[in-house]
Amino acid sequence: MSDIEAKDKKDGELRSEEFVINMGPQHPSTHGVLYLELRLDGEIVKDCRPHIGYLHRSCEKIAENRTYIQFMPFTDRLDYLASMNNNLGYALAVEKLLNVQVTERAQYIRTIIAELNRVASHLIGIGTFAQDLGAYATPMFYCFRDREIIVELFDELCGGRLTYNYMRIGGVQTDLPAHADKFIKDFIKYERQKLKEYNELLTYNAIFLARTKKIGILKQETAISYAVTGPMLRASGFKWDLRKDEPYMIYDRFKFDIPVGKTGDSWDRFKVRLDEISESLKIIEQAIGGLPAGNPISKVNRVFKGPPGEVYMRTENPRGELGFYLVSDGGLKPYRNKIRSPSFSNLAVLPEMIRGLNVSDAVCVLGSTDIVMGEIDR
């Protein structure tokens, strides 16, 4: 008789123990190489410890060994689903350091492109979320179909489909192609129709509601304390969007709403993303309508020295607030480039949300946070 059996006999009841399950780093729904150490009691998650770093490339160290311009392609690889937004954030930070003015046309183009990328990124967020809920690939394919149109435009614009390296310090790489105006307008019309379809397929589907409503509630105070930003913060009912509240670039010229949730559950996070798509479409529509003529191409020297000092620039990325903290000592390369990535803080709050839920719900909540590991590990 082994010790365990002896113990069973003594207690007179069935011995039960916690069940540790290693979810990831290779798992269909951990969105990359995230490793969650789940402690389960039956199927109830007692505790969760995220382990990150599998994609750590030390971008910040690389930045110290590259000139300002050379680091631009590396920003693509942070949040690879929203490369344009990363490009934009970095370009704005360097421009702030150099005190460079950007032409009107370049600003409009940047806005259009950044918002298009936001739409593309949210589409993936929605699609993968539905996939995590077990809707076998269908919503995912629909979202990728729509994203494909945006990616095609970007492909034509800069030759890349995932990592664009399109923004330049002081402008953009190339002007919009001649037919872009019609192309984007068509896309807006098309996408508005499709959003209605997504509402029918997912948003008000009874099973979808049962799986996401009241699951993984993130209270507003918790969200703020964990420095959660972006759609997750807004889903908790906090109306905060940098584009509206601290407008950078030309966002103060456009009319759009900030969608907010009520309870901060998974459904709210999903709905906020879905609504943000239509708000972004509004911005794109206004921007493409008021696109001024001019030259959007950068006039900044290829080689320049950053003036000594430091800047902090944050922008509203699809996943939250992306910040670049640039410290310059007057050399060709930045002395320090700190990247404050939104997903990093958004993931930190995950254990708070999934404690006491089912494994299925844990997957659902993880999907609703819409994290990108490239940005977390940097």
Partner 1 sequence: MMNLLIGGISVVGFISLSAMFLIWLERKISAHIQNRMGPMICGWHGSLQSIADSLKLLLKENIVPSGADKLVWSLAPFFVTVPVVMAFLTVPFSKTLIVRDLNVGILYVASITSICVLGIFMAGWGSNNKYSLLGGMRSAAQIISYEVPLLLSIVLVVMEAGTLSMQGIVQAQEQGWYVLKPNLAFAFLIYLISSTAEVNRVPFDIPEAESELGAGYHTEYTGMKFAMFFVAEYTNLVVVSAIATTLFLGGWQGPLLPGLFWFLIKVYGLVCLSMWVRWTLPRVRMDQMMTFAWKVLTPLSILNLLVSGWWMVR
Partner 2 sequence: MDQTQITQTFNQQLPGAVVEEQSKFLVIKKESLLAAAKILKDSELAFQHLHSVTAVDRKDKIEVVYHIYTYKYRFMLTLKVYLPMTDLTIESLAHLWQSANWLERETYDLFGVKFLNHPDLRRILNPDVWTDYPLRKDFNRPDFYRLPQTEGLKAA
Name the residues that contact partner 1, by CB under 8 A: 19, 21, 27-29, 43, 130-138, 141-142, 145, 201-202, 205, 207-208, 210-211, 358-361, 363, 367
Cβ-based nearer residue to partner 1, 34 or 223:
34
Q: At what angle do helices 104-132 and 138-158 cross, to 10 degrees?
A: 160
CB atoms within 10 A of CB 72: 22
Structure tokens at 17: 């123990």
**Residues 301-340: x/- map of binding to partner 2 (CB under 8 A)?**
--------xxxx-x------x-x-x-x-------xx-x-x
From 240, 244, 248, 333, residue interacting with partner 2 (rule: CB under 8 A): 240
Sheet containing strand 44-51, edge to edge, reads 19-23, 35-41, 44-51
Exposed (0-12), middle (13-18) or buried (19+): which is 252, by Cβ within 10 Å? exposed
Which of the choices partner 1, partner 2, none does residue 67 contact, using the CB cut-off of 5 to 8 A by kind? Answer: none
Cβ-based nearer residue to partner 1, 134 or 294:
134
Cβ-based nearer residue to partner 2, 222 or 263:
222
Tally the C-alpha atoms within 13 A of residue 342's C-alpha that lie toward its C-beta. Answer: 25
For the bound state, the minimum distance from the C-beta of residue 23 to partner 1, rounded and expressed in Å, comes to 9
Cβ-based nearer residue to partner 1, 6 or 209:
209
Cβ-based nearer residue to partner 2, 227 or 359:
227
Please give the DSSP secondary-structure letter assigned to residue 157: H
Which of the choices partner 1, partner 2, none does residue 314 contact, using the CB cut-off of 5 to 8 A by kind? Answer: partner 2
Q: Which residues contact 61 (CB under 8 A, 6 or more apart)?
A: none
d(CA 152, CA 267): 30
Tally the C-alpha atoms within 13 A of residue 147's C-alpha that lie toward its C-beta. Answer: 22
Q: Does 52 bind partner 2 (CB under 8 A)?
A: yes
Chain contacts with partner 2 (rule: CB under 8 A)? 52-53, 56, 58, 60-61, 222, 224-227, 240, 245-246, 309-312, 314, 321, 323, 325, 327, 335-336, 338, 340, 344-345, 348-349, 377-378
